[in-house]
Amino acid sequence: MNGFADLRARLAALDQRWLRRTRRVVEGGWTPAARIVESDATGRDVLAFCSNDYLGLATHTAVVEALAAGARRFGAGSGASPLISGHNAVHRDLEIRFAETQSPHIPTARALHFGTGYLANLAVISALADRETEVFSEELNHASLIDGIRLAYARRRVYPHGNAEALEAMLQDSTARRQVIVTDAVFSMDGDLAPLPRLLALAERHDAWLVIDDAHGFGVLGPGGRGSLAHFGLHSDRIVYMATLGKAMGVGGALVCAHEDVIEWLIQRARPYIYSTAAPPALAAAVATAFDIALGAEGERLRTALHTHIGRLRAAFGAPAAIEDADGGGPERVGAGWRLLPSSTPIQPIVVGGNDAALALAAALLDRGIWVPAIRPPTVAEGTARLRVTLSAVHTAEQVDRLTAVLKELMTRSE
């Protein structure tokens, strides 16, 4: 079989299992009232519940203005990797500011700015781990963490979701020279929280690093939106904390915060940091303004609105509003064999099971003008395809009610 025939056969195999992915084209800026281009290239207005722009900052006037002003001041691009000449004062100031937000949780905190969260995770894990390292990876970790372990050539041991006891048994077994525990703080396809205090206690006991990916927690959780470390009140020099800037911050990029020695090591050794062009300084300028909003009084108001929407959606299905971590309760059976997962975050997944069922449900919603993506394997486990509903502070209560009314209508039909 030649290369093209081989690829076509593999694409056809994806089709057979309902696993072919497609992209929708969004016209204009991202808001819950999105405009998407249909196949006949005509625009169509839909109500969207599929973005990680949890606070609505992607189109916030002040953030957009900061980006434009940043481009006028610093130009469009950084021109080089950070160690050559791409590290701008605006990157440095953002790093200092981020380190300040996490300094109650990480002694002698220092931070490093990255172009994306994917890159940051590759950098952290491949710099901390090597062939002599065992990396203990939570079952539902994001692909970028898994790829970081691959890049490090480290040995990967996967522990079951939320199960600190199983992790402890694995740590006790380990004879590797170094140990690293790696976890999402908020699981991106389930919305629940990792039991971070218990993971930290294990890291302390077993002299391991604890790498925490807070892509979906920073800006949303904890006092002042400072994220998962603040939410749980953690404090340790073993924590390596990563926050992305393209979700609640609405812009793009990522920041890693850790003890100053860890950050110095990343600068010396993290290949994804060293060998990639620094993010445009204008992006860092926009993020600085997003920080002003998200971590200030306006952010408090936005978070209150967001958490009210979360409670509203869950109440519509008779599910409790706040569940603090992975032990907080099982999924609610909401009818038609659907399960609303136990999540207190803006990620509110409804598991339907089969790939075809999830696609059919997403299509039925779109017919009714509502856009929620169907998430299928390999992003989630086989047989757990789901609708991944995400809420934003800039949704209105009426929009949330419209979503739940349409979901209930479809649920009754498929019962």
Ligand X SMILES: Cc1ncc(COP(=O)(O)O)c(C=O)c1O
Interaction site with ligand X (CB under 6 A): 116-118, 121, 142, 144, 184, 188, 213, 215, 244, 246, 254
Whose Cβ is closer to ligand X: residue 351's or residue 357's? 351
Cα–Cα distance between 95 and 83 in angstroms, integer? 15
The minimum distance between CB 227 and ligand X, in angstroms, equals: 13
**Closest distance of CB 213 from ligand X, Å:** 5
As a whole number of angstroms, the distance between CA 117 and CA 228 comes to: 16
Burial of 1 (0-12, 13-18, 19+ CB in 10 A): exposed
Q: Which is nearer to ligand X, 117 or 299 (CB)?
A: 117
**DSSP per-residue codes, 317-348:** TT--S---STTS---EEEETTEEE----SSEE
Structure tokens of 233?
Answer: 């009140």
Q: Which is nearer to ligand X, 30 or 336 (CB)?
A: 30
CA distances from 18 to 356, 360, 414 (A): 6, 10, 20
* One-character DSSP codes across 242-253: EEESSSTTSS--
Residue 132 exposed, middle or buried by CB count within 10 Å (0-12, 13-18, 19+): exposed
Residue matched to tokens 């920041």:
255
DSSP letter assigned to residue 186:
B
Of 219 and 246, the one with the shorter C-beta distance to ligand X is: 246
Beta bridge partners of 348: 389
Q: Give least dist CB 215 to ligand X, A.
A: 3
Q: Residue 382: CB partners within 8 Å, gap ≥ 6?
A: none
8 Å CB contact between 234 and 221: no
Instruction: Quote the least distance from Cβ 346 to ligand X, whole Å.
Output: 12
Which tokens sit at 265? 């090591």
State which residue, 91 or 407, has the beta carbon closest to ligand X.
91
**Min CB(323)–ligand X separation in Å:** 19
Nearer to ligand X, 326 or 334 (CB): 326
Buried residues in 95-105 as b, exposed as e (16+ CB within 10 A): bebbbebbeeb
The residue (of 203 and 254) whose beta carbon lies closer to ligand X is 254
Of 116 and 276, the one with the shorter C-beta distance to ligand X is: 116
Rg (CA), the chain: 21
In terms of CB distance, is 151 or 336 closer to ligand X? 151
Closest CB 7 distance from ligand X, rounded Å: 26
Nearest approach in angstroms of CB 203 to ligand X is: 19
Closest by Cα among 289, 224, 221 to 250: 289
Report the 10 Å Cβ neighbour count for 365: 23
Q: Which residue's CB atom is positioned nearest to ligand X?
A: 117
Q: What token pair was written down for 213?
A: 């990916």
In the bound complex, what is the minimum distance in angstroms from residue 242's beta carbon to ligand X? 7
Q: Which is nearer to ligand X, 251 or 350 (CB)?
A: 251
Could you say which DSSP state residue 25 is in? E
3-state helix, strand, coil in the chain (%, to 5): 45, 20, 35
Shortest CB 315 distance to ligand X, Å: 26
Task: Tell me the closest approach of the beta carbon of residue 196 to ligand X, in angstroms.
Answer: 14
